Amino acid sequence: MAKITMHDGSIKELSEDDELYLSTLRHSCSHVLAQAVKHLYPNAKLAIGPSISDGFYYDIDFETPISDKDLSAIETEMRKIVKANERIEYFSLSREEAVALMTEKDEPYKVELINDLPEGELISFFRQGDFTDLCAGPHLLSTKEVGKAFKLQSLAGAYWRGSEKNKMLTRIYGTAFRSKEELEAYLTRLEEAKKRDHRKLGKELGLFMFSEYGPGFPFFLPNGMVLRNTLMDFWRKMHYANDYVEISTPIILNRSLWETSGHWDHYKENMYTTVIDEEDYAVKPMNCPGSILVYQNEPRSYKDLPLRLAECGLAHRHEKRGELHGLMRVRCFTQDDAHIFITPDQIQDEVTRITRLIDEFYNVFGFEYHVELSTRPEDSMGSDEDWERAEAGLKSALESMNMPYVVNEGDGAFYGPKIDFHLVDCIGRTWQCGTIQLDFQLPQRFELEYMGADGEKHQPIMIHRVCFGSVERFIGILTEHFAGAFPVWLAPVQVKVLPVSDKYLDYANEVAAKIGAANIRVKTDTRSEKLGWKIREAQKEKVPFMVIVGEKDMTDRTVSVRSRANGDEGACSCEEFISRVRNDIDNLAR
């Protein structure tokens, strides 16, 4: 068991396995970092230093810039502070006393934070040795407890309070764990993640590119288009089998539509706009209003519901340039949406059906996942009654399936609560992809109707649902999950035919023609290079199968097979090899 000091100075005892303990450890480490910086750079001004999911950071205004090479000296100073075993003590002051203290210490960012706090409340501080920081806590009881396993990792720029109008500060990132073993395991995962970086692999494998002419707007290259189209073929097959119909809606629509939907009020800063015929238009950031127009295109009856409209629509959202990150954070992306219109008594069955479809999607790629139920945010629209009905409907569906979930308070969409699916990749990272969002608001705003069995008009409920999420982002996730070594059915090139020399080129082309005729993606390496070089090149390209043909193969009408998984596998007939590869593809083998 461990003890921590809470925001009011009380002491709480909890297990070191508790997530609160880990976040407290990391936050306390950020204070040790700040203290070390003040020892080494007395004129540095401190901003904020929270714990984050994998560690902590501190934003600091340095008099002269520092670089990555300075981190080792700061870390050494941190270890001295840990070794000193200084008590971390809580105390509180009035607003006037707090401002005076931080003014005396020449900490203008802290003074600004204090002035933004509610009046009349005592303001909490934590002191350790010669260092005092404005902080709500919680904290460990001494610096020695912080020093189990930590490491400074990198520097980045960060605008004060996230605004480009403010000064750029230096953000120092670090991480901390309960034990050295946990830290080493985490650092090993980071190194593995670097090797799997989809931006690096995307370039090496010819999947996608970016241009300064369009930051955040991805270009898909030939191999990337094969991968993308294969995913979309799979997406269509799954949707057609589950009674969805596919639609396509325009990219640009009139401002009045976005005002009715609520996006203009809630999302305008992230939308691109233009003027057509002296009227305001917006490039769609989401597909849902277009699906609503399709629903409204003709009268609907209860017999038509559920109506499952699926769309892989191109959407655009303005993201800050500094937040762009390969395919993971872009300004245009393809959302694999579906909008499902149901009657109130169909909520549980339809949410259950969608959950099973998403489960089937992720199982194909070998992903495990966990589920979150996100509830009403502060910036929302609609009545309390509607939100209660919507949240109860999602809970009921999850509980009827015995699906474990955690509640993520206040993280729903502005129009309704949602179920989020968080994928876990092969090195333990999580990615939020699939989502199911229950919406009473847009059907009200657009006055949607259907004729009920009673002959009266009723309002449908709308479900927003994605499986991949952003197709581009999902490709980035897959690239890192498989380290570019995609399963056979997804690989842009499934087989590479390698003639031992130019003498066997005709036979190589004959073999490739047979393989291609079986609807297998195949290429022949016709370059006048040594066989070992060709094999190494195919390995770099992460091709699942190589077929090597030489004199004996040509004489015996066989092929020598080398697989990505097993290396040399010996000779077999071309027909046997084709049958094996087709079996792998047809069964979506991993």
Q: Which of 464, 473, 481, 542 is catalytic?
A: 464
For residue 231, the Cα-to-chain-centroid distance in whole angstroms is 18
Helix axes 505-517, 574-586, angle to 10 degrees: 40
Q: Which of 59, 133, 337, 584 is catalytic?
A: 337
Handedness of CA 251, 255, 258, 264 (dihedral sign): positive
Backbone angles phi, psi at 503, to 5 degrees: -60, -25
Q: Which of 239, 339, 496, 534 is catalytic?
A: 339
Helix axes 222-241, 471-481, angle to 10 degrees: 110
Backbone dihedral region for residue 435 (phi beyond 0: left; psi -120 to 50: alpha; all else: beta): beta
**Distance set, CA 244 to CA 289, 309, 415, 465 (Å):** 18, 6, 23, 12
Q: Which of 171, 255, 308, 335 is catalytic?
A: 335
288 counts as catalytic? yes
Rounded Cα–Cα distance for residues 512 and 509 (Å): 5
Rounded Cα–Cα distance for residues 486 and 226 (Å): 12
337 counts as catalytic? yes
464 counts as catalytic? yes
| Beta-ladder partners of 175 | 151
353 counts as catalytic? no
190 Cβ contact list (under 8 Å, min separation 6): none
Find out whether 420 and 371 touch, Cβ atoms under 8 Å.
Answer: yes
Q: Which of 317, 331, 376, 523 is catalytic?
A: 317
Q: Which of 31, 38, 300, 418 is catalytic?
A: 418
The C-alpha torsion from 38 through 43 and 49 to 54, rounded to 10°, is: -70
Rounded Cα–Cα distance for residues 488 and 467 (Å): 22
Matching residue, tokens 């699926």:
310
Find out whether 46 and 62 touch, Cβ atoms under 8 Å.
Answer: no
418 counts as catalytic? yes
Q: Which of 29, 135, 288, 574 is catalytic?
A: 288
339 counts as catalytic? yes
248 three-state secondary structure: coil
Give 375-433 as a DSSP string.
Answer: ---SS--S-HHHHHHHHHHHHHHHHHTT---EEETT-SBTTB-EEEEEEE-TTS-EEEE
405 Cβ contact list (under 8 Å, min separation 6): 370, 371, 372, 373, 398, 419
Catalytic residues: 288, 317, 335, 337, 339, 418, 464
